[in-house]
Amino acid sequence: MASAIATGAGAATPTPTPTVYRLTPMASVSHPNNEDRPRAGLSFGRMNRKQRKVLADRRRTHAVEVRQPRNVLDRASYPKVKQGHIVAATYQRNFAVDGLVAVHVPGREDCVTLKVENAGTRSRAYRRTRLDGTEIDDVEASLAGMEDVAGPVLAAVAAGGTITEQPKGKLAQFVAVQMLRGPMFFETARAIAINQVQQAVTVQSAPASALADAGGDIDAVRGRAVDRFWTLRFHDMIRGSQKLSSILGCMRWRLLRFSAPVVAFSDQPVVLWPLATQAIDTRPTKPMLGPVNALEIRVPLSPHLILLMTWDDLSDIPAPLPMPTPTLLAADTNSLVIAQADKQWMHEPGSEPPVATRLLHPISSALDPAYDHRAVLRSLRRRTAQQYTDRVLGKSFVKRVQVITDVQTATRRTRRASSRR
């Protein structure tokens, strides 16, 4: 629990009270027989005797003591997924009419109507290749497990439900996964992998057998190393989303409800507003990934709802807040959501949603003029999230999600010091 903080006699200070509970988490990527459990870093060359002994001891320990994250998938096979959703189908259903959404694609001025099953997909988006060369869709199964948990909550909120403690924990995990399952995360991860391989793999460091297999082509050796390193990105996506869930759970949540269906979404729908940015003219074409350095986060949840997350030290508002100017704030959000789309942006079939072309400002500042980057820097919610990040930084997996819904006011009374020595 976060401790109360005050700065003077009788000073009243908001104190976030986080709730830490076991959430039914997304299942992790399978590790059948441990043969493709992710390994830290890159390794080239043969192991020496001491390294082989350490590895053998570890395998003997794992044979009798199971050390794996909660809800690890352990199946003999997984369904093949030819078209993987980079924006969850269960999320898109909130915007669908009779299972259809309106989709804007590059090269066309008008929109097309697609089934949810065919919108926001990529060919074999999360398929990975195991060490024995076989392909597996266990990442898709992991994502499906998370969507099964979040789907009913998304539907309930779209139907007018409130976001209390348990729903917030589930939606926090869903939003975290959505932030990391998109193309931006994998582009960044691949660029990091290529950079690390370029530095680590040289003619001198590469094994002679690897060079021989590649016909002496060091670029081919590097390419294969990137491919091996690449499969770890799926593990990073799942591990990162589990930790990111608690950071989002520490933020203040408000649902903004619009009377008309004016909200759009895209294949990268989560918008982070940079901390020190007061206005945006040129729309960013790539989403941000770090919520701790965001002033606010906007998530379209339905044609009538936008979820707003901020760091101000006030309690969440579980029930949706009616917006007096329905098109203004929605048009601003649509403009950012569409700009950072990878290939497609979508909306409820029917009329086109409004898209702002004007200079944009944070929604949070419009709702509360006192909220700005200075409020974020002194936020106890944010400090709690940073402390959580420090605690779990070295952990591969976490089993709990931390959520703050209520912020109480704590008062410290000072006493005059005794004159006795």
Give, as one character, the DSSP assignment of residue 291: G
- Find where tokens 């016909």 sit: 215
C-alpha radius of gyration, the chain, whole number:
24
The pLDDT tens digits for 300-351 are 999 999 999 999 999 999 999 999 877 889 999 999 999 999 999 999 999 8
The pLDDT tens digits for 212-237 are 888 888 888 888 777 777 667 787 78
- Find where tokens 């002994």 sit: 53
Ranges 27-36, 102-111, 248-257, 334-343: which has the least confidence? 27-36
- Calculate what percentage of the chain has a pLDDT beyond 90: 45
Q: What is the phi/psi pair of residue 293, to 5°?
A: -100, 25
What are the sequence ranges of the domains in the chain? 18-36+44-405
Give the confidence band of 74 by pLDDT, cuts at 50, 70, 90: low
**In contact, 252 and 381? CB cutoff 8 Å:** yes
**In contact, 120 and 86? CB cutoff 8 Å:** yes
Query: Taking Cα atoms as reference points, which of 105, 137, 133, 134 lies closest to residue 124?
Result: 137
Structure tokens at 166: 């348990």
- Does an H or E element contain 14, and which? strand 12-16
| Distance in angstroms (rounded) separating the CA atoms of residues 73 and 1 | 32
Amino acid letter at 162? T
Chain mean pLDDT for the chain? 81
In the predicted structure, residue 142 carries a pLDDT above the cut 60: yes
| Distance in angstroms (rounded) separating the CA atoms of residues 83 and 36 | 24
Interhelix angle 165-180/138-158, rounded to 10 degrees, is 130
The predicted structure's pLDDT at residue 71? 55
Give, rounded to a whole angstrom, the gap between the first and last alpha carbons of the chain.
36
| Distance in angstroms (rounded) separating the CA atoms of residues 274 and 268 | 17
Amino acid letter at 6? A
